[in-house]
Amino acid sequence: MYDIVILGAGSGGYATALRGAQLGLKVALIEGDKLGGTCLHRGCIPTKAYLHAAEVADTVKESEFFGVRSEFGGVDMNRVGEYRDTTVNQLYKGLQGLVKMRKIDLINGWGKLTAKDTVTVDGKEYRGKNIVLASGSYSKTIPGLNIEGRVITSEQALQMDWVPSKAIVLGGGVIGVEFASVWASFGTDVTIIEGLDHLVPNEDEAISKNLERQFRKRKINFKTKTMFESVSQDDSGVHVKTNDGNTYDGDILLVAIGRGPATANLGYEEQGIEMDRGFVLTNEQLQTNVENVYAVGDIVPGLQLAHRGFLQGIYVAEKIAGLDPQPIVESGIPRVTFCEPEIASVGLTQKQAEEQYGKDKIKTQEFNLAGNGKSQILNTQGLVKLVAIEDGPIVGFHAIGARMGEQIGEGQLLVNWEAYAEDVASIIHAHPTQNEAIGEAALALAGKPLHSA
């Protein structure tokens, strides 16, 4: 009998295992594929490797601006793939070493919940005083839109050994704009089709509009308020029809409409676990309605982010070990989209804050990166936006610009520690850094703008 049996070894599952073992618990970690899950092998890490390769391509193409003569000779996708795999494999080996060092029993095989305290793998039962469900997610598609041939998801896109001349991306959310950004840097003619009013529609509207302006400058095409209707494919490529009567032709169609919970046929419903559209429902302690059964990661309704699952895994392990961890506040989880320019945000958008507190109770401040020395050195555009309650704390941080994802740490602290603009304005931000932009926004919010009107 184990203290914890974990079904799924992605970010949430392996974090539960590592922290549980660290606290002296006997842990079994079950995974049908590879330790590390989607994030490490088919998501976050390989995608960000591609995005860095794209950044290097842009640097070469734009080097003349900085007085450096260079020539862009194209992209060797085989070499990009080797770089991707080397990065993934190094992290994979490190994770394997940690699991072995912590004496966690790693069981390779497809598990199924067969009792409230049992996961069965290839006919063998693994019983636990506590069960943690961490089965992850999969790339969704539209009913009737089959993933085959030239119609692909992000998993297939990451394995391509060629650069498409023309690509159509269905979905303007995080996955869609990241791949569009990569392909545009590699020389692809990209068109994004998005049904909602803006690209990255979950972000603050100021951020979405700024991204759209910068994508136009990069010649990344996009159609918002446009619904997919049908697709056909032949030897010449794919042909996508939309509800406005237009047809878009490309070499491939990337379906990037989000991810669904991977919970089908795993025995969850049979054991009485409450579900909603495939998601596992939990309370704020991440407990399901079945005693001693927990759930973490993408199968729990909310933000589908690796670091969310990771933190949830730590929380559950500490809860099972008898500690008293603080429940995770969803609105305090940071978000970064690694397209060019990068988007970083945490907390409430202006619209969300106005809906929650009232329009007259909210004040906002934007600082344009045109006034930031380091951003000008980097030749990037964008902004930092703070959302605050009148005479109260900052409740939202939003930023866009090259490398602005690296500023999410301070943004996260501002929101989660309920900082007041006056407090942030008095903190020294080193010069010349992009970090200064946060201080400048706080100064303006506090009524004493320095480098802005």
Q: Active-site residue numbers?
A: 431
**Rounded to whole angstroms, how far apart are CA atoms 364 and 294?**
39
Take residue 264 and report the two structure tokens written for it. 């089908």
Asked if residues 134 and 13 have their Cβ atoms less than 8 Å apart, the reply is yes
**Rounded to whole angstroms, how far apart are CA atoms 227 and 170?**
9
Q: Cα torsion at 198, 201, 204, 205 (round to 10°)?
A: 20
**Rounded to whole angstroms, how far apart are CA atoms 335 and 214?**
20
**Max intra-chain CA distance, the chain:** 69
Tell me the DSSP string of 45-73.
HHHHHHHHHHHHHHHHHTGGGGT------
Asked if residues 92 and 98 have their Cβ atoms less than 8 Å apart, the reply is no
Q: Rounded to 5 degrees, what are φ and ψ at 7?
A: -100, 100
Half-sphere exposure of 388 (CA within 13 A, CB side): 28
